[in-house]
């Protein structure tokens, strides 16, 4: 990928790049919508991601190109504004440029920029966090800054929240930043505090991407965010992570509106499942980890209502298959992908039989990927 990136950079801009970085996509392992509620979450960086190359310019012109889009987006360093339409992909790097000063970091003035990706887009693997992290690395380096990984992660999330306009938590950027091969990233989102947890041998990830996406997915994500904040307020805490055990049985809990109560129940239980999954991982008990994953999905289905018939079908079919420890929707939900944790004995034949059953039901085949873990964002 790196040589293809350098070659394309030369072809586009007529010179070699000065700085290159790569950041991975991620799988949400467990901890569904817990991040913006101040909770905990486990994710894994994968072996695919976004590469960014950059060369500085003497003038204040910023040129952006992506192998995923046609044409070059040209903007002046004096105007840092959100773009609309076909150029709007450049809001990811532009958002990072806007975020850097918020974290006390300088940004480069003019430059030529190229992004290339081997992450399937729209597969729930967080290509947006990957492009933000890779961009943050090259911009910081171009400005002579060497910030801590945590600062880059925060700047990338800031870009997503305040420039791109998605009220996401820190999961995607945190995992892309702190990922490590054969490990999961554990995030205590309120600190935030990042740690890695070794993956037991014989833990395999399979991703089934349905290519279905609810038309209102951004609005639904924001609605869940709002519902959680309302539930926290009604329970007298800032964030649901602070709701004491038994909060839902208290008088404030019993007075919650039904929707708020369901959302709160999912978040409070899910934070407990993350802790149980970490303990089971440390004990090497993949069957117990898998049980937590499937329980997480059932909670999404019933309490958080961010699953779909397609995702439920895949989880049912997978969990009925030998060698599958557990399965759940991964990411925001409302369509997207299911992740299964399996033993090494689960292979293509098993995956294809689940895909065939799905096709029989829905008339389309999911994309299947036996995904490997990988390292976090870095200059290359
Ligand atoms: C999306 C967001 C994350 C997280 C998940 C749900 O991936 O970007 O911050 O909230 O949904 O857990």
332 Cα nearest atom in ligand 1: 11
Segment (H or E) for 367: strand 367-371
Nearest to 302 by CA among 328, 322, 326, 280: 328
So what's the pLDDT on residue 366? 96
Whether 214 shows a pLDDT value over 80: the answer reads no
So what's the pLDDT on residue 344? 97
Q: Are 338 and 328 in contact (CB under 8 A)?
A: yes
Is the CB–ligand 1 distance for residue 175 below 6 Å? no
Segment (H or E) for 139: helix 127-142
Segment (H or E) for 269: helix 258-282
- Rounded mean pLDDT of 20-45? 98
**Which mutation among 27, 33, 161, 240 tests ligand 1's pocket best, with the greatest number of atoms within 8 A of CB?**
33
- Rounded mean pLDDT of 34-59? 98
pLDDT in tens, 296-328: 999 999 999 999 999 999 999 999 999 999 999
In the structure, what pLDDT confidence band is assigned to residue 61 with cuts at 50, 70 and 90? Answer: very high
- Rounded mean pLDDT of 164-177? 95
Q: Using the mean position of ligand 1's atoms as its centre, give its distance from the Cα of residue 332 in Å.
A: 5
So what's the pLDDT on residue 123? 75
Is the CB–ligand 1 distance for residue 331 below 6 Å? yes
Whether 336 shows a pLDDT value over 80: the answer reads yes
So what's the pLDDT on residue 68? 92
So what's the pLDDT on residue 244? 87
Residues pairing with 51 in the sheet: 22, 116
Q: Which residues contact 20 (CB under 8 A, 6 or more apart)?
A: 2, 5, 6, 51, 52, 53, 54, 138, 379, 380
So what's the pLDDT on residue 217? 80
- Rounded mean pLDDT of 340-357? 98
Q: Using the mean position of ligand 1's atoms as its centre, give its distance from the Cα of residue 340 in Å.
A: 18
Q: Using the mean position of ligand 1's atoms as its centre, give its distance from the Cα of residue 173 in Å.
A: 10
Q: Using the mean position of ligand 1's atoms as its centre, give its distance from the Cα of residue 263 in Å.
A: 15
**Sign, CA torsion 28/32/33/34:** negative
Is the CB–ligand 1 distance for residue 35 below 6 Å? yes
**C-alpha–C-alpha distance, residues 361 and 9, integer Å:** 45
Is the CB–ligand 1 distance for residue 290 below 6 Å? no
Whether the full predicted model's pTM is greater than 0.85, yes or no, is yes
Is the CB–ligand 1 distance for residue 33 below 6 Å? yes
What is the percent of the chain with per-residue pLDDT over 90, rounded to a whole number? 93
- Rounded mean pLDDT of 103-124? 92
Q: Are 194 and 186 in contact (CB under 8 A)?
A: yes
Q: Are 362 and 340 in contact (CB under 8 A)?
A: no
- Rounded mean pLDDT of 224-241? 97
Q: What angle do CA 258, 274, 182 make, to 5 degrees?
A: 145
**C-alpha–C-alpha distance, residues 187 and 35, integer Å:** 8
Q: Is 71 exposed, middle or buried (0-12, 13-18, 19+ CB in 10 A)?
A: exposed
In the structure, what pLDDT confidence band is assigned to residue 245 with cuts at 50, 70 and 90? Answer: confident
**C-alpha–C-alpha distance, residues 62 and 50, integer Å:** 19
**C-alpha–C-alpha distance, residues 26 and 47, integer Å:** 9
């Amino acid at each position: 990928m790196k040589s293809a990136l350098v070659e394309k950079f030369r072809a586009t801009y007529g010179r070699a790049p000065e700085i290159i970085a790569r950041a991975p996509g991620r799988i949400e392992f467990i901890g569904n919508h817990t991040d913006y509620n101040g909770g905990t979450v486990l994710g894994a960086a994968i072996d695919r991601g976004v590469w960014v190359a950059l060369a500085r310019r003497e003038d204040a012109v910023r040129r952006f190109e992506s192998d995923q889009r046609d044409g070059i987006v040209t903007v002046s360093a004096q105007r840092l504004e959100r773009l609309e339409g076909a150029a709007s992909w450049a809001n990811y790097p532009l958002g990072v440029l806007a975020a850097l000063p918020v974290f006390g970091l300088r940004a480069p003035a003019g430059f030529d920029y190229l992004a290339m990706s081997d992450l399937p887009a729209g597969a729930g693997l967080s290509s947006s966090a990957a492009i933000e992290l890779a961009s943050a690395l090259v911009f910081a380096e171009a400005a002579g800054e060497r910030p801590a990984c945590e600062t880059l992660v925060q700047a990338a999330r800031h870009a997503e929240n305040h420039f791109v306009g998605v009220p996401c938590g820190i999961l995607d950027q945190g995992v892309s930043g702190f990922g490590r091969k054969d490990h999961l990233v554990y995030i205590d989102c309120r600190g935030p505090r990042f740690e890695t947890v070794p993956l037991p041998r014989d833990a395999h990830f399979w991703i089934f991407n349905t290519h279905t996406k609810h038309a209102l997915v951004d609005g639904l994500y924001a609605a869940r965010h709002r519902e959680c904040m309302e539930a926290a307020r009604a329970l007298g805490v800032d964030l649901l992570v602070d709701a004491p055990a038994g909060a839902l049985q208290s008088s404030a809990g019993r007075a919650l509106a039904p929707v708020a109560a369901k959302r709160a129940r999912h978040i409070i239980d899910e934070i407990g499942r993350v802790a149980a999954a970490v303990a089971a991982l440390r004990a090497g008990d993949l069957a117990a980890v898998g049980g937590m994953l499937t329980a997480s999905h059932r909670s999404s289905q019933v309490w958080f209502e961010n699953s779909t018939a397609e995702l439920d079908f895949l989880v049912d079919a997978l969990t009925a298959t030998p060698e599958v420890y557990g399965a759940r929707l991964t990411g925001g939900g409302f369509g997207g992908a299911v992740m299964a944790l399996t033993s090494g004995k689960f292979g293509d034949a098993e995956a294809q039989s689940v895909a065939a059953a799905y096709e029989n039901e829905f008339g389309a085949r999911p994309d299947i990927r036996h995904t490997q873990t990988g390292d976090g964002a870095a200059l290359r």
